[in-house]
Structure 1
């Protein structure tokens, strides 16, 4: 029975070797087109994604605390950093490819390239200098082509790394959260599991380096190390379960072995660190009025004693999403009642509830019916002090409220204003009055001036 012929072979002749070089050459002719297509498709689309991610994070983070809040923050910073860094890198790739296309166009129309002897106002010394620095047009085209392909591959490597970091973190937090729920102390269990995982990850990457040094020294002394080599192989095999090396290493090792190895790794890790920091910068800029400003007269301290738009529901904007301050409807009140909304933030309030609310074991409200609402009001009232024009306001008449428009829960109360004279009045709220001066649990004071105008509607 005759054997099947290899593709490209003829009967009676040995099969020809596969034409790998020709096949790669044909693929290479279209690689530039594919790079341009992918970069153009993703570069500017990715710039629109961080805004959506920020909105989702800002909406979700107010409802969580502890490790769950850290998990949301990690996912937010990783995703936003990935989008921005990849988008900037792809835009740079498009610029280099555009430069490369322009050079090719010049080469087509001017096949001789740079004709140095015909350049005016350039002497012999300058010509020698520029010829050594610039080189030929063919060399510049080749360098631009290599730089674009290198940047494109490095960008894909970075994107894969960030996606794997994010997916691994989500899986780790999910498993740790499930185990923590079984033991009743989710935050502590999740922190322990996360710490153990990252310790194992660091050790599994450091152990092979140490063993390689030991094996190399023993080899120089003429001592065989089969046991250490087996251990090294097993550790490397274990790493494959943690990191998909077959997906990352072809790109990483190719770039690392053909470019400057140390510089590549430094740039690679710097890009990862920058990506992880961009989310924090965006959160800070969203919480502050202006990240860079020169306000030397109307300072932040002056505004805090005056008026901040985040206190007035009618003046709040998207820029105030992270400012979860006590609120009143508007700065000019015409009715006889003033609605005051005090937000509840689990990230801060839960810790105080565990310390101050003895009626709620562990700070958890497990009551049902009207008792649950009463207990919630009494607990939150323990770490808020409210005064109107210096007169204390009791929070007993406040009720628990869910604001879907603000994506927050809290207490709401209606203060009577009919006994007040028209004009300016000051509502002052203090959170954790006995707290420290600094830190996450520091006491916070909010001053909300408003103007009572009962005759304005007439």
Structure 2
């Protein structure tokens, strides 16, 4: 049997690896900055797909998923930029130390002797300053992955519970998805709350607490919450928590989150995640007294999600204009709730029932949308259409010139989508000229 490697050699190898780890950190951090700045684009794609294909009850749950994913991305972006900047500074200081190994020159005549001594006392030698930056870089690198894994774990957990809630709802339509979801989530989080309470000095040394505190309330439940990330998350965080004072660690976390929150806000708003909130969706761009770029196709960005009725431009010339009425799944669900679903006719073939179903759906859509042009009701012919921007499904119709007047016009649209008994409204002002 081979003899195990001596402890001294193993320790020396580890120390050498730690000393040389900065180069790997710098390479990984640089690549991670590039990768993390691509993540908001992928998040937006995921959110746009969800907004078009999920109903309100599912989107309410997905809103939590989007929030935690946005935190994960924001943490990675902030941490890797901070780490790269500080590690680059550290490399620069290493080079500087080879030129000026003594650091601050106390023999300089630039300042008084007292001034130089105080300067040296506050900043120390160059080696000590380098070591300080090196420690900060190493902490940031571990901290970034730890917090990112925490938020990613919670997002995956929420998504898994949402899937279970959806399956239960499919088995029994009378049970609301949200009720099932929050009930399961509460059961999962309850042991974590108890774990925090039992860690109080008043309880933690009691025999019955010690039997359940670590093995059940901590280890077993945490494996469910953090699943594949359990070991790295708790190992890294336990190192931080046990090596910093509780108040010191809490203040650093709060200060760090204050740094992350502005980035989170920007990523969250640009990703369209806010539209998962039905109140925001209901009230967005619904004022009569202003123009919204989202209502005009020539002002839309490439692949921009619409979710609002649109016309070609704020200035219309010619014989009339097209009007696009989007119908995301949240509104389609409302349509079926109000008008029911098409029932197949047993006397018809499958293809004939398909045609009848499409005709029925088109008829119900005509009832679902109430349209007025300059205060006069207009009942147009609707055609199914997928908009080129985000392949968003809805209906395309035409507003003839006979309904328009020279100068300012307003198209008013009301759908049966409701929040607190109020129907969703939209105003599309435009200027028209028949020349």
TM-score (norm 2): 0.80
Shift of 1:88: 1.9
Which residue number in structure 2 is paired with residue 210 of structure 1? 197
Q: Does structure 1 retain, via aligned residues, the 8 Å contact 2:334–2:416?
A: no
Shift of 1:250: 1.9
Higher radius of gyration, 1 or 2: 1
Which residue number in structure 2 is paired with residue 164 of structure 1? 153
Which residue number in structure 2 is paired with residue 40 of structure 1? 30
- The root-mean-square deviation of aligned C-alpha atoms, in Å, is 3.6
Q: Structure 2: how far apart are the matches of 1:51 and 1:145?
A: 32
Which residue number in structure 1 is paired with residue 138 of structure 2? 149
Q: Does structure 2 retain, via aligned residues, the 8 Å contact 1:61–1:72?
A: no
Highest RCO, 1 vs 2 (Cα 8 Å, sep ≥ 6)? 2
Question: For each residue in 1:312-341, what CA deviation from the matched residue of structure 2 results, as whole angstroms up to 9, or x when unmatched?
Answer: 33442249x344222233455566453322
Which residue number in structure 2 is paired with residue 292 of structure 1? none
Q: Structure 2: how far apart are the matches of 1:33 and 1:69?
A: 43
Q: Structure 2: how far apart are the matches of 1:206 and 1:309?
A: 46
Q: Structure 2: how far apart are the matches of 1:256 and 1:17?
A: 28
Which residue number in structure 1 is paired with residue 40 of structure 2? 50
Question: For each residue in 1:198-247, what CA deviation from the matched residue of structure 2 results, as whole angstroms up to 9, or x when unmatched?
Answer: 32343212323433447758x6xxxxx54442232332332243235422
Q: Structure 2: how far apart are the matches of 1:274 and 1:109?
A: 35
Q: Does structure 2 retain, via aligned residues, the 8 Å contact 1:78–1:166?
A: yes
Mapping of residues 388-407 of structure 1, within 5 Å: 388-395=373-380, 397-403=381-387, 405-407=389-391
Q: Structure 2: how far apart are the matches of 1:112 and 1:273?
A: 38
Match of residue 173, structure 2, among 184, 192, 195: 184
Q: Which runs of 5+ in 1 are unaligned?
A: 9-15, 220-224, 288-299
- Asked whether 1:199 is paired with 2:189, we answer no
- Asked whether 1:6 is paired with 2:3, we answer yes
Q: Structure 2: how far apart are the matches of 1:170 and 1:159?
A: 17
Match of residue 90, structure 2, among 97, 100, 118: 100
Shift of 1:27: 1.2
Mapping of residues 58-97 of structure 1, within 5 Å: 58-97=48-87
Q: Structure 1: how far apart are the matches of 2:116 and 2:14?
A: 39
Cα distance change of structure 1 residues 235 and 422 upon mapping to structure 2, 3 Å threshold:
closer
Question: For each residue in 1:143-197, what CA deviation from the matched residue of structure 2 results, as whole angstroms up to 9, or x when unmatched?
Answer: 11111111111111112212212222222222222222111257x23x2333233
Q: Structure 2: how far apart are the matches of 1:251 and 1:165?
A: 17
Q: Does structure 2 retain, via aligned residues, the 8 Å contact 1:426–1:449?
A: yes
Question: For each residue in 1:368-420, what CA deviation from the matched residue of structure 2 results, as whole angstroms up to 9, or x when unmatched?
Answer: 4344344434434445332223332124x334444455532333333433x46
Q: Does structure 2 retain, via aligned residues, the 8 Å contact 1:100–1:145?
A: yes
Which residue number in structure 2 is paired with residue 31 of structure 1? 21
Cα distance change of structure 1 residues 117 and 184 upon mapping to structure 2, 3 Å threshold:
same
SS in 2 for 1:113: coil
Q: Does structure 1 retain, via aligned residues, the 8 Å contact 2:40–2:267?
A: no
Match of residue 263, structure 1, among 232, 248, 252: 248
TM-score (norm 1): 0.76
The count of aligned residue pairs is 412
Match of residue 117, structure 1, among 95, 98, 107: 107
Q: Structure 1: how far apart are the matches of 2:269 and 2:80?
A: 26
